[in-house]
């Protein structure tokens, strides 16, 4: 597999690792999202332990207001964070 294909497989397996612990295996509940953010992003998201910040992130991601985050919404978050990291490191060169 190419590096991009490995990255795609890793996104899928990471989402699956956290989704479905509380009901629907195809979505993340707020608690599942919180666990994912804390465990997978750690210090990168310094507000991962802040309940109000988690609520804001969850509400921003839950575009269809289904009270859950689906895979597409999760991927959009990862893409946005990746873009911000890229911009940060490019500006530091």
The domains of the chain are located at 27-92
- Which residues are 69's β-sheet partners? 28
Using an 8 Å Cβ cutoff, are 25 and 11 in contact?
A: no
Q: What is the pTM of this model?
A: 0.81
Please write the tens of the pLDDT for every residue from 8-50.
999 999 999 999 888 899 999 989 988 998 898 877 665 556 7
Separation of alpha carbons 85 and 24, rounded Å:
31
User: Has residue 53 got a pLDDT over 70?
Assistant: yes
Q: Tell me which long-range contacts 50-55 makes (C-beta under 8 A, separation of at least 24).
A: 54/30, 55/30
- Which residues are 27's β-sheet partners? 70
Give the pLDDT of residue 71.
Answer: 96
Give the pLDDT of residue 70.
Answer: 93
Range 27-92 has CATH code 1.10.40.30: no
């Amino acid at each position: 597999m190419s590096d991009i294909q490995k990255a795609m497989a890793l996104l899928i397996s990471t989402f699956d690792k956290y989704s479905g612990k509380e009901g629907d295996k195809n979505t993340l509940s707020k608690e599942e999202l919180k666990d994912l953010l804390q465990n997978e992003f750690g210090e990168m998201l310094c507000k991962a332990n802040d309940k109000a910040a988690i609520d804001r992130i969850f509400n921003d991601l839950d575009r269809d207001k289904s009270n859950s985050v689906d895979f597409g919404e999760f991927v959009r978050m990862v893409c946005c964070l990746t873009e911000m990291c890229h911009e940060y490191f490019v500006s530091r060169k």
